[in-house]
Amino acid sequence: MKTGKQLHDELIKDPRRKQAYEQLEFEFQLYEALIRARINKKLTQREFAKRIGLAQSALARFESGRTNPTLSFLKKVTGGLGLKLMVK
């Protein structure tokens, strides 16, 4: 069985995949940071979604990267985690 890092390294050997990954890197980093923050606060998706007034399914779609979140959605999530959203 391969680790996530091994699989990643293998997949981006293809220049087209590497380019696609690089174009999405910001989104991947954002999702990962917010998931880690939620987990560090020991909150399940269900608990956190209820706390910020979302359906658990909406939070799951966001965390899996299957949606293109609005700025207000991101503010709701970051605010619920005690984080401040800054765009530079």
Tell me the per-residue pLDDT of 7-32, one tens digit each, with 9 for 90 and over. Answer: 878 888 888 888 888 888 888 899 99
Alpha-carbon span 61 to 45, nearest angstrom: 11
* C-beta separation of 25 from 40 below 8 A: no
- Determine the pLDDT at residue 28: 87
Alpha-carbon span 59 to 65, nearest angstrom: 10
Fold of 4-25+43-80: 434 Repressor (Amino-terminal Domain) (1.10.260)
Does position 47 have pLDDT exceeding 90, yes or no? yes
* C-beta separation of 55 from 46 below 8 A: no
- What does the radius of gyration of the chain's CA atoms come to, in whole angstroms? 15
Domain extents for the chain? 4-25+43-80
* C-beta separation of 27 from 64 below 8 A: no
